[in-house]
Amino acid sequence: MKGYAYAANYTIKEDCIIDEATGWDVMSTWETPIMQKHADIVCANGGHILEFGFGMGISAGLIQEHDIESHTIIEINDNIYNALVEWAKDKPNVIPVKGDWYDDIPTDKKYDGIFYDGFGDMINKRYFPTRIMQHCKEGTILTWYNNFLQEESQYDGVQKYIKKVHEIQQFERKSRINFESVNLTIPEKARVDWYLKGEGNTYYAPKLIVDNNDLTL
């Protein structure tokens, strides 16, 4: 099922992306330190990187600073995808894909790192860990935008959405998910449940390394 971003009317400004229907900031330049941390995490293996959501291209640009072989970016929104294609013209290792990450991940390779940051993807995001295992290999690094301002992941309670509870148990154990912190100044307007939930000015970027047991999911 396609998420909210599919038909949303986004306006790209110098310092943010605005959802014209709600007036919400979809992404802002103040998040650059967050994107730097995710880029560093997802590119630790080098190799083939898969990114869900282009946004303002902040994380994509930071990923490009790493020594990687390929960089596949999936974007569902028309306006943002057009910006992605334009941005990618002088980057031969970037592979733009128009579509929904849930259904449209290229199957020609296994990825060394995967970064998920899809705005408004409230339905499909709950299946992220198990859905992408077919595109991973042992040692693949997973990281995702964390909406909690604490060492907690939105996947800690994801079993309530999954019929086969045993499939997700490995991702619930906090010993499997490490967090790398980023100290920054968070605007008050971003302190809403769907954006960043919690107190303080420390962001926690999750990191999970796929093992052979995960690949059987």
Residue 165, classed as helix, strand or coil, is: helix
The pLDDT value given to residue 22: 81
Cα separation, 78 vs 99, in Å, equals 9
pLDDT of residue 161: 36
Cβ contacts of 94 within 8 Å, gap of 6 or more: 60, 64, 70, 71, 72, 73, 87, 88
pLDDT of the residue at 119: 73
What is the pTM for the complete model shown? 0.87
Return the domain boundaries, the chain. 4-216
Amino acid at 34: I
CA distances from 207 to 25, 68, 91, 170, 195 (A): 25, 18, 27, 14, 19
CA gap 170, 11 in Å, rounded: 39
**Residue-level pLDDT at 158:** 40
**What pLDDT score was predicted for residue 132?**
87
Beta-carbon contacts of 169 under 8 Å, excluding residues fewer than 6 positions away, are: 159
- b/e map 41-50, b = 16+ CB within 10 Å: bbbbbebbbb
pLDDT at 166: 43
CATH number of 4-216: 3.40.50.150
In the block, tokens 């290229």 appear at 106
Distance of CA 48 to the CA centre of its chain: 15
Q: What is the rounded (10 degree) CA torsion for 170, 173, 176, 177?
A: 120
Low-confidence ranges of the chain (pLDDT < 70): 1-7, 120-125, 154-175, 193-194, 217
Can you give the pLDDT at residue 123?
63
